[in-house]
Structure 1
Amino acid sequence: MTINSIHDEVEATRLAFRDGMSRLAAAVNIVTTDGPGGLAGFTASAVCSVTDRPPTLLVCLNRSSSVAGMFERNRVLCVNTLASGHEAMSKLFGGSTPQEDRFAVGDWIMSTTGSPRLTDAIVSFDCEVESAIESGTHHVLFCRVVGIAHGADEEEALIYFRRRYHHIK
């Protein structure tokens, strides 16, 4: 083992990790909920498949976010995968805009769980939160998919890579 390889291992810091993760391309999603905890939504790229038996997604949510308590109380959510034309909406849901103002943009309908579904999303996954664990600053939500709505096949997906938006078919 050389001095440089030891140095590289020690440098696995928060900032180095964040820079490394910026090189991991990810779909951009708006995750929504509604119920006793209230109407809420946030932009997320930390969403992935867990299994198809039963269909389950993993969604990461910052525990200190203004919406964390709402998602915890509602225990339902909808993952809306964004198309290339949704970049402004992604920024709106990722900022400090009040919740009711976020939903004033876009065409939303109620999904089976009661979570808002974006009608022109690439795909929407309507889910019930089955379990959650804490890991560092985040809740990791395991979400059983109870409904799926597919968008238009010709839409380009909105991807986040190297701290910028990109569009792919």
Structure 2
Amino acid sequence: MAEAGFPGQHTTTTTITSSTTVQTNIRFDSSYMQTLPGILKVIQVGASLLGFISALCSSFSHLSKSQYFMWISMIAFWYTGILLGFYLFHIVEKFYKIPWLKMEMCFTCLWAPLYLLAAILAITVEDSAHYAAAFFGFCATAAYALDAFLKWRGVRAGGLAQGTRVVSKQTTSVAPPREGY
């Protein structure tokens, strides 16, 4: 016998549907640079290159602080530059099964504090070229930190790096009518 006041039957059905829309042809699309992720990548590439050149042109470029800054900026320049090219030519969309957002999130989460440290070390060198490098390092730090947050939000939402994914969730619940007391 069922407990008094407790329904004898309760059914809950949850239906989750997902639809992914991608175009797998490689094509050039400059409109990506007008989106926030595209603008951030352009800032990251530009700040990395200008920071590298500033540190390299210094008469103190042989110092380990300067070498560290140049190492961080060149890795960031090449990684982000290649990714920017992938996005511009929709290579990311062609290979949408690769977890691009997670890879980018890991890189940006790692590179934001590494760039912050490099910029702080560069500013400790008493040289105008290193001051310029530190400025570009702080700009890159801010761009990587904001990009890391956006990538984290995208990963959490289950989004794609390029293309669209629509996830809809429908929950229905059926309970028997309650008897009067």
Structure 2 length normalisation: TM-score?
A: 0.20
- Structure having the higher strand fraction is 1
- Structure having the higher helix fraction is 2
Structure showing greater Rg: 2
Structure 1 length normalisation: TM-score?
A: 0.21
